């Protein structure tokens, strides 16, 4: 039995990294997808692999209310319903301490990582009320434990955790569940780019493997499998959960050297 048969998933940031792995898993589970991205090139690449028979792509910026309103309306026009909103789109730059972070950098992080959730909820909640659907937010372990030289980013992920719990309470009367996944390190194109920017790039791979108790830094598919569980009926009595999909990284944060003491979930 397909876990997402007859379900429509509205997925932001679904053309790269964790989001793209989720798109593939959701599609395999029987879902119809409306995928939002602000990158035309990544949409083109994703459409080649996912096809367009059960998948719609919308070029939009989740930090812009009017873009999200249009994307939600398009999804409803094409598919007639929304059963899941997965807020996966996010940014991580800059890698700076708080006093080094510009007002523009601070604003942009919150507009995308937190404002995106506001926008999809504001424009999509009525559709979810009709289906008794659910919301999934992509958080991060650093929202719980912090991270050096990423103060603004970790602040947004802490906000995602708090939002998830409060939204779970607000929407439970409508039968709407709200959860989040909290990865640690995940190998994605953005993480590879981040690794090259570190003071000692050659040692980052070894570091990322060792921060996880299970001994390796995973690909995005392990996060996608957890996301599939949370949005499916298998998790029908789970809400307000911040699920760590972290290989045990939170059990003992390992600092290998002063040059490589950060991890990243994008």
pLDDT band at 148 (very low <50, low <70, confident <90, very high): confident
* C-alpha distances in Å from residue 85, one per residue of 5, 139, 181: 16, 14, 14
The pLDDT of residue 256 is 46
Beta bridge partners of 182: 244
* Range 19-40 average pLDDT: 98
Residue 153 resides in a domain: yes
Residue 237 resides in a domain: yes
Number of folded domains in the chain?
1
**Which residues are tagged catalytic?**
153
Residue 76 resides in a domain: yes
CA–CA distance, 61 with 230 (Å, rounded to integer)? 25
C-beta of residue 124 within 8 angstroms of C-beta of residue 133? no
Does position 150 have pLDDT exceeding 70, yes or no? Answer: yes
* Domain at 164, CATH number: 3.40.50.720
Residue 75 resides in a domain: yes
Structural domain boundaries, residue 34: 8-184+218-247
pLDDT band at 203 (very low <50, low <70, confident <90, very high): low
pTM: 0.89
Residue 255 resides in a domain: no
pLDDT band at 215 (very low <50, low <70, confident <90, very high): confident
Does position 205 have pLDDT exceeding 60, yes or no? Answer: yes
Helix (H) or strand (E) holding 131: helix 115-131
Residue 256 resides in a domain: no
The pLDDT of residue 263 is 43
Residue 129 resides in a domain: yes
Residue 141 resides in a domain: yes
pLDDT band at 191 (very low <50, low <70, confident <90, very high): low
């Amino acid at each position: 039995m397909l876990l997402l048969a007859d379900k429509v998933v509205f997925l932001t940031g679904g053309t790269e990294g964790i989001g793209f792995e989720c798109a593939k898993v959701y599609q395999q589970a029987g879902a119809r997808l409306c995928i939002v991205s602000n990158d035309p090139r990544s949409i083109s690449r994703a459409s080649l692999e996912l096809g367009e028979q059960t998948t719609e792509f919308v070029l939009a910026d989740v930090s812009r209310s009017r873009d999200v309103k249009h994307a939600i309306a398009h999804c409803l026009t094409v598919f007639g319903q929304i059963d899941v909103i997965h807020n996966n789109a996010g940014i991580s730059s800059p890698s700076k301490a708080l006093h080094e972070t510009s007002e523009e950098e601070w604003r942009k992080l919150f507009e995308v990582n937190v404002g995106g959730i506001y926008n999809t909820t504001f424009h999509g909640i009525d559709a979810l009320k009709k289906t008794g659907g659910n919301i999934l937010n992509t958080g991060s372990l650093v929202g719980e434990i912090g991270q050096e030289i990423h103060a603004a980013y970790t602040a947004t992920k802490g906000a995602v955790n708090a939002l998830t719990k409060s939204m779970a309470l607000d929407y439970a009367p409508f039968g709407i569940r709200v959860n989040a996944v909290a990865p640690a390190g995940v190998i994605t194109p953005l993480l590879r780019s981040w690794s090259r920017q570190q003071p000692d790039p050659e040692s980052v791979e070894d570091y990322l493997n060792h921060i996880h108790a299970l001994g390796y830094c995973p690909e995005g598919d392990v996060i996608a499998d957890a996301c599939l569980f949370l949005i499916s009926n298998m998790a029908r009595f789970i809400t307000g959960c911040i699920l760590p999909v972290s290989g045990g990284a939170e059990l003992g944060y390992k600092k290998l050297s002063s040059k490589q003491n950060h991890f990243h979930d994008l």
